[in-house]
């Protein structure tokens, strides 16, 4: 018997609200509350995997850019971590994001003013608190505080060791920097969607990876997903873009992440079989564990494992009462 009983499903649907679950019911043509709740659980599991990949990609991205800029700008800190953000002409929004971390509101001569914190926060602390969106708009900065042009071509060659193009000539093109901006912005929008608890499978038209300019709108390269297969394909595309960005900034982190449990889990769950398994079982396990010591033949174990796939979402595998693994079959 599964731990997911009808009373649990009914209570979960009430708690989540039918209004929130209605999009799952219509898009995936779910026939029962159990299916709807299972699809919601599938979305949550997929979102966790994508969120984890985004977290790794974001950290290596900001560390690479922070290091490359620290080696060129800044006075305080150490050679690989300086306060470069105080020495570039940032956009107004980016400057305000930095000042929220480096300054505080104080009353001076009867007026509220922003005053630099004493002591000034260490650069690593500032960098760790800047949002994902800060980094894409950093590319909008063109000069430092002396009026000298920022050498983005050299900085990006250094920060992107895994990118296909490694010449300064390539990154001197605004069009190519715009494509990098678009990738960072795309990953940030995925991050925000997950953070705001929105369905990650729901996506609008896919636009070309570029930046809209005054006289040119972005072209649609793919329409919105209209069925589960298309939603799965779009999720794979989004995930691959995250992984490619990770590889651009750190080939070492990329190769390490490819053998991670989270990467394997995403590739397993983001399939028609993974979707159908959650639709049926909601990712919940069987109450009774599989005691492998009670089976005499291997084919008996296989039969039991197949039974779990048909009747339950998962099962705990034990030997002599000791937990060995969680068996999560796909249909």
Closest CA to 126 of 144, 105, 142, 103: 103
Task: Give the count of domains, the chain.
Answer: 1
pLDDT tens-digit series, residues 214-240: 778 899 999 999 999 999 999 999 999
* Helix (H/G/I), strand (E/B), else coil: 251: helix
pLDDT tens-digit series, residues 242-269: 999 999 999 999 999 999 999 999 999 9
* Arithmetic mean of pLDDT, 139-168: 97
With 60 as the cut, is the pLDDT of residue 1 above it?
no
Q: Is the pTM of this model over 0.75?
A: yes
* Arithmetic mean of pLDDT, 101-123: 85
Cα radius of gyration (the chain): 25
- For residues 72 and 8, which has the higher predicted lDDT (pLDDT)? 72
Give me the torsion for CA of 224, 230, 233, 238, rounded to 10°.
20
- What proportion of the chain, given as a percentage, has pLDDT over 90? 74
State the pLDDT at residue 275.
Answer: 95
> Which residues are within 8 A (CB) of 38 and not within 5 positions of it... i.e. 6 or more apart?
278, 279, 280, 281, 282, 283
- Its sign, for the CA torsion 74, 75, 76, 81, is positive
State the pLDDT at residue 89.
Answer: 97
State the pLDDT at residue 331.
Answer: 59
State the pLDDT at residue 3.
Answer: 66
Residue at 266 is within a domain: no
Residue at 217 is within a domain: no
Residue at 318 is within a domain: yes
Residue at 317 is within a domain: yes
State the pLDDT at residue 8.
Answer: 84
Confidence class of residue 176 from pLDDT cuts 50, 70 and 90?
Answer: very high
Residue at 319 is within a domain: yes
Mean pLDDT score across all residues of the chain: 92
Burial class (CB in 10 A: 0-12, 13-18, 19+), 303: exposed
State the pLDDT at residue 20.
Answer: 96
Distance of CA 210 to the CA centre of its chain: 20
- What domain range is 296 assigned to? 290-327
Q: Which two tokens stand for residue 142?
A: 């063109």
Residue at 283 is within a domain: no
Strands (E), the chain: 77-78, 81-82, 103-108, 111-116, 206-207, 220-222, 290-291, 315-319, 322-327
State the pLDDT at residue 279.
Answer: 92
pLDDT tens-digit series, residues 265-299: 999 999 999 999 999 888 787 888 889 889 889 88
Distance (Å, whole) CA 96 – CA 57: 24
State the pLDDT at residue 2.
Answer: 60
Determine how many CB atoms are found less than 10 A away from the CB of residue 201: 24
pLDDT tens-digit series, residues 115-140: 888 888 999 999 999 999 999 999 99
- Its sign, for the CA torsion 83, 87, 93, 99, is positive
Q: Which two tokens stand for residue 111?
A: 């007026």
Indicate the DSSP class of residue 258. T
Q: Which two tokens stand for residue 197?
A: 């608890």
Confidence class of residue 161 from pLDDT cuts 50, 70 and 90?
Answer: very high
**DSSP per position, 97-166:** HHHHHHEEEEEETTEEEEEE-SSPPPHHHHHHHS-HHHHHHHTT--BBTTSPBP-HHHHHHHH-TTSS--
Distance (Å, whole) CA 119 – CA 123: 12
- For residues 35 and 8, which has the higher predicted lDDT (pLDDT)? 35
Burial class (CB in 10 A: 0-12, 13-18, 19+), 58: buried
Residue at 82 is within a domain: no
State the pLDDT at residue 296.
Answer: 87
Strand-strand pairing, 220-222 and 290-291: unpaired
Residue at 107 is within a domain: no
Report for 79-83, 100-104, 236-240: range of highest mean pLDDT: 236-240
């Amino acid at each position: 018997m599964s731990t997911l009983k009808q009373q649990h499903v009914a209570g979960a649907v009430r708690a989540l609200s039918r209004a929130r679950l209605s999009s799952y019911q219509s898009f995936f043509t779910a026939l029962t509350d159990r299916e709807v709740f299972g699809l919601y659980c599938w979305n949550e599991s997929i979102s966790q995997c994508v969120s984890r990949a985004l977290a790794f990609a974001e950290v290596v991205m900001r560390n690479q850019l922070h290091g490359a800029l620290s080696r060129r700008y800044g006075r305080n800190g150490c050679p690989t971590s300086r306060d470069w953000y105080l020495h570039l002409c940032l956009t107004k929004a980016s400057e305000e994001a930095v000042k929220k971390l480096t300054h505080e509101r104080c009353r001076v001569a009867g007026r509220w003013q922003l005053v630099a914190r004493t002591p000034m926060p260490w650069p690593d602390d500032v960098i760790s608190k800047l949002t994902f969106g800060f980094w894409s708009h950093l590319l909008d900065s063109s000069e430092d505080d002396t009026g000298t042009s920022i050498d983005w071509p050299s900085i990006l060659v250094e920060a992107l060791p895994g990118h296909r193009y490694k010449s300064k000539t390539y990154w001197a093109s605004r069009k190519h920097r715009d494509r990098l901006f678009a990738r960072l912005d795309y990953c940030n929008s995925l991050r925000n969607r997950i953070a705001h608890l929105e369905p990650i499978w729901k996506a609008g038209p896919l636009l070309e990876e570029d930046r809209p300019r005054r006289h040119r709108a972005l072209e649609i390269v793919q329409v919105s997903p209209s069925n589960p297969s298309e939603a799965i394909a779009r999720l794979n595309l989004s995930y691959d873009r995250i992984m490619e960005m990770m590889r651009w900034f750190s080939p070492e982190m990329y190769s390490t992440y490819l053998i991670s449990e989270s990467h394997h889990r995403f590739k397993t769950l983001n399939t028609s079989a993974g979707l159908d398994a959650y639709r049926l079982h909601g990712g919940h396990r069987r109450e009774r564990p599989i005691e492998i010591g009670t089976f005499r033949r291997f084919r008996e174990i296989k039969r039991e494992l197949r039974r779990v796939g048909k009747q339950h979402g998962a099962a705990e595998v034990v030997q002599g009462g000791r937990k060995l693994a969680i068996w999560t079959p796909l249909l």
